[in-house]
Amino acid sequence: MAVNKSHQRQGFGETLLIDAIKNAINSSGLVPKPMIIVEAKNEIARNIYKDMGFTEFPQNPNKLFMPQKEAEHMLEESGVL
């Protein structure tokens, strides 16, 4: 996922991330998974993931995870699911 430089810092990254989380949850009926894992390209992306509730892996701070149940709860509270 990426946002063109001319459109960065306008909230598009968060919108793309929410859509990706929603798609991951919806596909879990086909392929069950306990968590969603992302890899941040840079510190800005890592901070976006952390702001959305992802947790860094201790061995690799650019790789982050969110338990699927937590992702579902987040989307339900925001009215997306």
- Domain extent listing, the chain: 24-73
Listed residue (60, 61, 64, 76) closest to 18, CA to CA = 76
Mean pLDDT along residues 2-22: 69
Compare 61 and 26 and report the one with higher pLDDT: 61
Mean pLDDT along residues 31-57: 89
Share of the chain above pLDDT 70, in %: 78
> In 1-81, at which residue ranges do the beta strands (DSSP E only) sit?
35-39, 55-57, 60-67
pTM of the complete model: 0.73
